[in-house]
């Protein structure tokens, strides 16, 4: 399966393929099976998105620069995992998770991604807002695992692992704070939000979303990709993170969380730390020293009176 590009994204790809040389409107029109007028319309809307495109009467168009943005036109062509079938989104969107959920509810297939450079109503875990200014990478995608809801409880963990893997491949020393915060040292660099719709004992669809701080810190004590990799492009980060999450998702379908457990544990920054775990309402549900994660992804802590497994909650370091 290959990814379907919007016509505007296909025009952007044709310009990029010309590698800084002139390409005629007629050539682009023929390659894409559209009219020259349609090419002109898409060039105009690409310019509005921040593409610097020169044009001349007998030479056609030449791409001088593309925007450093998490938009479908820049992300789609960088995606490598075979799962991708579509890359939707816009420069500004309410929430990529909300858009992906809307598409999933209308039947969008597994591998439909939604990306944005800025969110006006980004959401985090526990119903919190997720500050999403321009300069970040906000991505979500639809999966349709042929599993019962109880079998996919590790989705947030494997998504976090995919993000950490991707950021590490770009040169960022990313670790994991259970269940799915991606951190550099103690500072958060990315967050993951998984939302699901299920019928009886089968998952209809799940949306896996991730927000990465790329260009600048968005919260106090946040880390951002360009601290470690100043030249990282936002679209490059977005595509790496989507591919990373798609990779761990496929590995999970093939071998369960057990196959990812060791890698997850090796990146867990909490091991050996004294922690407090709270539920969604802020109530303390456990305290102890982190021993690791088990084959299901549950956090295992030594409470002093024995070991406890936790399947959800928010972990803070005990002072
Ligand atoms: C958290 O750490 O609380 C999770 C944050 C998840 C934010 C991402 S940004 C892309 C996607 N769209 C949203 O509205 N939320 C997720």
Distance 237 CA to ligand 1 centre (A): 16
User: Which pLDDT value is given to residue 112?
Assistant: 98
Distance 64 CA to ligand 1 centre (A): 33
Checking if the pLDDT of 1 tops 70, the result is: no
How large is the average pLDDT for residues 297-309? 94
Choosing from 101, 104, 123, 163 the residue with most ligand 1 atoms within 8 A of its CB, the one to mutate for a pocket test is 123
How large is the average pLDDT for residues 45-54? 96
Q: Give the number of the atom of ligand 1 that is nearest the alpha carbon of residue 188.
A: 2
Choosing from 104, 138, 190 the residue with most ligand 1 atoms within 8 A of its CB, the one to mutate for a pocket test is 138
Checking if the pLDDT of 219 tops 70, the result is: no
Write the CA distances from 154 to 102, 236, 298, integer angstroms: 23, 26, 8
Q: Which residues, including other chains, have CB under 8 Å from residue 156's CB and lie 6 or more apart?
A: 179, 180, 192, 193, 194
% of the chain surpassing 90 pLDDT: 89
Checking if the pLDDT of 3 tops 70, the result is: yes
* Structure-token pair, residue 218: 């968005």
Rg (CA), the chain: 21
* Exposure on the CB side of residue 228, measured as CA atoms within 13 A: 18
Name the residue with higher pLDDT: 256 or 218.
256
User: Which pLDDT value is given to residue 217?
Assistant: 60
Look-up of token digits 């990814």: 3
Distance 223 CA to ligand 1 centre (A): 16
User: Which pLDDT value is given to residue 2?
Assistant: 79
User: Which pLDDT value is given to residue 4?
Assistant: 85
How large is the average pLDDT for residues 151-158? 95
Distance 151 CA to ligand 1 centre (A): 22
Integer Cα distance of 178 and 157 in angstroms: 8
Checking if the pLDDT of 93 tops 80, the result is: yes
Using one digit for the tens of pLDDT, what is the confidence trace for 221-246?
Answer: 899 999 999 999 999 999 999 999 99
Partners of 52 in beta bridges: 65
Distance 295 CA to ligand 1 centre (A): 26
Checking if the pLDDT of 265 tops 70, the result is: yes
Q: Give the number of the atom of ligand 1 that is nearest the alpha carbon of residue 126.
A: 3
User: Which pLDDT value is given to residue 318?
Assistant: 85
User: Which pLDDT value is given to residue 280?
Assistant: 85
Distance 253 CA to ligand 1 centre (A): 23
Ligand 1 shell residues, CB under 6 Å: 95-97, 119, 122-125, 128, 130, 138, 140, 181, 191-193, 209-211
Using one digit for the tens of pLDDT, what is the confidence trace for 19-31?
Answer: 989 999 999 999 9
Helix (H) or strand (E) holding 262: helix 261-267
% of the chain surpassing 70 pLDDT: 98
Checking if the pLDDT of 295 tops 90, the result is: yes
Strands in 18-135 per DSSP E: 52-56, 60-65, 86-93, 112-119
Using one digit for the tens of pLDDT, what is the confidence trace for 116-129?
Answer: 999 999 999 988 99
How large is the average pLDDT for residues 131-150? 94
Q: Give the number of the atom of ligand 1 that is nearest the alpha carbon of residue 181.
A: 2
Name the residue with higher pLDDT: 219 or 215.
215
* Structure-token pair, residue 7: 């016509």
Rounded mean pLDDT of the chain?
94
Distance 194 CA to ligand 1 centre (A): 8
How large is the average pLDDT for residues 56-85? 95
User: Which pLDDT value is given to residue 135?
Assistant: 87
Integer Cα distance of 215 and 236 in angstroms: 12
Q: Enter the pTM of the model.
A: 0.94
Choosing from 97, 129, 234 the residue with most ligand 1 atoms within 8 A of its CB, the one to mutate for a pocket test is 97
């Amino acid at each position: 399966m290959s990814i379907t590009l919007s016509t505007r994204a296909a025009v952007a790809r044709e310009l990029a393929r010309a590698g800084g040389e002139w390409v005629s409107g007629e050539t682009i029109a023929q390659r894409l099976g559209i009219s020259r007028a349609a090419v002109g319309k898409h060039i105009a809307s690409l310019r509005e998105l921040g593409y610097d495109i020169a044009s001349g009467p007998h030479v056609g168009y030449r791409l001088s620069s593309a925007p450093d943005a998490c938009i479908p036109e820049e992300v789609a062509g960088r995606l490598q995992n075979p799962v991708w079938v579509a890359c939707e989104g816009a420069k500004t969107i309410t929430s990529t998770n909300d858009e992906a959920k809307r598409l999933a509810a209308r039947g969008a297939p597994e591998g439909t991604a939604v990306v944005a450079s800025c969110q006006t109503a980004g959401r985090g875990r526990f119903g919190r807002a997720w500050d999403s200014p321009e300069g970040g990478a906000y991505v979500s995608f639809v999966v349709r695992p042929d599993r019962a809801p109880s079998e996919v409880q590790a989705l947030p963990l494997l998504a976090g692992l995919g993000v950490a893997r991707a950021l590490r491949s770009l040169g960022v020393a990313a670790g994991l704070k259970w269940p799915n915060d991606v951190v550099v040292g103690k500072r958060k660099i990315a967050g993951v939000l998984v939302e699901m719709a299920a019928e009886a004992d089968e998952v209809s669809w799940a949306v896996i979303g991730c927000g990465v701080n790329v260009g600048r810190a968005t919260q106090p004590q946040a880390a951002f990709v360009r601290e470690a990799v100043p030249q990282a492009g936002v679209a490059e980060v977005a595509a790496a993170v989507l591919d990373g999450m798609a990779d761990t998702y496929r590995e999970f379908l093939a071998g369960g969380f057990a196959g990812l457990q060791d890698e997850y544990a090796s990146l867990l920054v909490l091991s050996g730390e004294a922690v407090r775990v709270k539920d969604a309402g802020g109530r303390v549900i456990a305290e102890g020293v982190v021993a690791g994660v088990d084959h299901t992804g549950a956090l295992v802590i030594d409470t002093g009176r024995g070991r406890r497994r936790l399947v959800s909650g928010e972990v803070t370091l005990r002072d």
